[in-house]
């Protein structure tokens, strides 16, 4: 199976950047420590819009991406991240070539 890429665009509410970054840092650490099928998981803040972040992800295959979405640490991050969000995430899934 081919590797799977994700670009998630997250828009954070005004005044919630520090809370978002703290909660997302916890999630990043858990993904890196517990998901052998994840090859890259990192968040970047836009230089043009400080309320917008891009999460870049790479998984060995679709099964690894599916496991990520079902993981305890991913599910536990929702209640921590939700109060920080100004809009629903925009998720783009990519196929490796």
pLDDT of residue 64: 98
pLDDT at 10: 99
Q: Does 56 have pLDDT greater than 80?
A: yes
The yes/no answer on whether domain 4-95 falls in CATH 3.30.70.100 is: yes
Q: What is the pLDDT of residue 41?
A: 98
Q: What is the pTM of this model?
A: 0.93
Range 9-45 burial, b when 16+ CB lie within 10 A, else e: ebbbeeebeeebeebbeebbebbeeebebbeebebee
- Mean pLDDT within 60-68: 97
Contacts of 11 (CB under 8 A, 6+ apart): 51, 52, 53, 85, 86, 87
90 touches 8 (CB < 8 A): yes
Q: Cβ distance 10 to 85 under 8 Å?
A: yes
Q: Write down the H helix ranges in the chain.
A: 17-34, 62-70, 72-81
């Amino acid at each position: 199976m081919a590797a799977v890429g994700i670009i998630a665009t997250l828009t954070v509410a005004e005044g919630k950047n520090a809370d978002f970054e703290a909660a997302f840092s916890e999630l990043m650490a858990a993904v890196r420590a517990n998901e052998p099928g994840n090859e890259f998981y990192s968040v970047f803040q836009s230089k043009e819009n400080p309320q917008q972040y891009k999460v870049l992800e790479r998984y060995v295959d679709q099964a690894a991406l599916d496991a990520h979405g079902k993981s305890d640490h991913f599910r536990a991050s929702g209640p921590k991240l939700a109060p920080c969000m100004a809009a629903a995430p925009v998720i783009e899934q990519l196929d490796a070539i």
